Structure 1
């Protein structure tokens, strides 16, 4: 027995078929790839290297720097930065202009100024506190170990007899065993 398909089912099936056909023809959309760009990044001098590696591309890629992002957005930004460098601006001035235009989240490394110092101080303080906790814990364990060792050496009445040495308890035990025979 065959089922009749409702218009909703037919519409969903048709749209899924069209979507699959479209992604087959143009798979770059499915992969999230950028179109354009040469695929290579050219850095001509040390000032460009310092600048490009300090700024994040604003194309939406996963936080790649301008020094590594091969997309067409990155190429355009690099050409813009090259023009500013040739115009006489310093690397710091260009970074400031880039931050003013796109925001501080597009800096590869946050600056160590103002409230951003916490980004540098918190991990350092956490590492120092962790190291202090480890040192204190190890000292406590060592002290407890030394106390237990000292207590074992200090016990004489309850300690088992050393090999070859006899004490009053051994003599009494031997006497009782002889009496039972």
Structure 2
């Protein structure tokens, strides 16, 4: 009985998450259909932020799919469609925005943080090594005293010849 209840609950949970956007659009040819699918998969939904417009079920994604369909029907190229979307929604609509002054932090930020972190770790390790070497060094007086103590506790062993 428990298994049946768990199966029903899981089934209902999956039912709600499986409602993806389904477009029933007619295309002139398979090439146009493929371009449509390619474009909708490379453009990000402005509302969902982590989904492309092909997978998003938000109203704005539906509108963008319709706009792409209309522009494809009007004979516009992929570059024209992407340029239109970027001019309307900014570089955010692209999963791979171009390197520019506005996106430099996005592209160079991770590498910069990695270099700063590596330099900080190297500085910490070098500092600890210097402290360890400086802290372990004995003065001449301490070295003589240590040698005397070692000789007293461990007298030299005489060998029989």
Distance in structure 1 (CA, Å) of the matches to 2:115 and 2:38? 31
Distance change in 2, residues 1:50/1:138 (3 Å): farther
Provide the rounded CA distance (Å) in 2 between the counterparts of 1:153 and 1:90: 80
Structure 1 unmatched ranges of 5 or more: 1-37, 167-181
For 1:43-68, what per-residue CA distance to the aligned partner results, in whole angstroms no more than 9, with x for missing partners?
x53x445432332324x445532132
1:143 aligns with one of 115, 118, 130: 130
Partner of 2:41: 53
Task: State how far apart, in whole Å, the 1-side matches of 2:138 and 2:109 are.
Answer: 45
The residue that corresponds to 2:55 in the other structure is 68
Q: TM-score, length-normalised on structure 2?
A: 0.56
Aligned residues: 126
Deviation by residue 1:127-173 (Cα, 9 ceiling, x = unmatched): 21221121122122123223334x1496324438348426xxxxxxx
CA RMSD of aligned residues (A): 3.5
Report the equivalent of 1:165: 154
Cα offsets for 1:52-102 (capped at 9, x unmatched): 2332324x4455321320234423422331443455434332121012223
Identify which of 76, 81, 90 aligns with 1:89: 76
TM-score of the pair, normalised by structure 1: 0.51
| Residue equivalent to 1:122 | 109
CA distance in 2 between partners of 1:131 and 1:53 (Å): 36
SS in 1 for 2:42: coil
Query: What is the aligned counterpart of 1:77 among 64, 74, 84?
Result: 64
Residues 95 and 157 of structure 1, relative CA distance in 2, 3 Å threshold:
same
Larger Rg: 1
Is the contact between residue 49 and residue 67 of structure 1 (CA under 8 Å) also seen in structure 2?
yes
